[in-house]
Homo-oligomer: A and B are copies of this chain.
């Protein structure tokens, strides 16, 4: 059972010590704790997905050198995921349940964006998962200091992105047809990726709360109580920032967003 799903019972009001999560007793703190567990679970799952994708990329890499590099990136994704899981344990949450609730978070995205070439595959990693990382980075601003530090450190490891940029830049710079195709592919990827974020915000009010905490002063406790409906307007500022990051990312490759 995840801490998130824990019903508010009479035991919660006694303040009796019950393990590392015992400090979480009153309403707003419990909500904040559940929201933190939710975002950390999502970040851990994204690293898990990154592992699987990098392993699949390694299997079809054009050269032995690239295969060696990609398996190293895959191994690094496992280490990053485990850093996030360790933070979940520190917070008294069940890490397996926290990551498991997001098991299929990118299945739809992957099914809709099957790359047909090595370049499309590289661009998918760079652009598609880049949006997911940006979203987590923005939502992380609503976390406690230590959890935020863990998430930002995990998301800051851009070694794989550097490889993708170097290869895509070299390939596209003297091939106008390839550049035009990849620009089109990038637009499709970002559209699908923003769709994933939108669905997440609809299904996970906790993530909306985290994103909003960074945008405005912390609201009074009663407004943060569990069960508060998600706002009618999804945070348009968030989507503006995600799109701006995407445009920056594409222009690093010399591609039109």
Contact = CB atoms under 8 A, between A and B. Distances in A.
A224 interface: no
Contacts of A72: 78, 82
A211 to B, nearest CB: 26
A82 B72 CA distance: 9
User: Dominant SS at the A interface?
Assistant: helix
A179 interface: no
Contact of A96 (B48, B58, B64, B103): B64
Contacts of A22: none
Contacts of A56: 55
Contact of A103 (B64, B75, B78): B64
Interface of A: 48, 51-52, 55-56, 58-59, 64-65, 67-68, 71-72, 74-75, 78-79, 81-82, 85, 96, 99-100, 103
A22 to B, nearest CB: 25
A29 B187 CA distance: 58
B51 A55 contact: yes
B52 A58 contact: yes
A47 to B, nearest CB: 10
Contacts of A81: 71
A71 B48 contact: yes
Contacts of A96: 64-65, 68
Given A52-B59, A100-B64, A79 B71 contact: no
Closest 8 CB pairs of A and B: A55-B55, A75-B75, A75-B78, A64-B100, A71-B78, A64-B96, A65-B96, A51-B71
Contacts of A71: 48, 51, 78, 81
Contacts of A74: 51, 55, 74-75, 78
A184 to B, nearest CB: 30
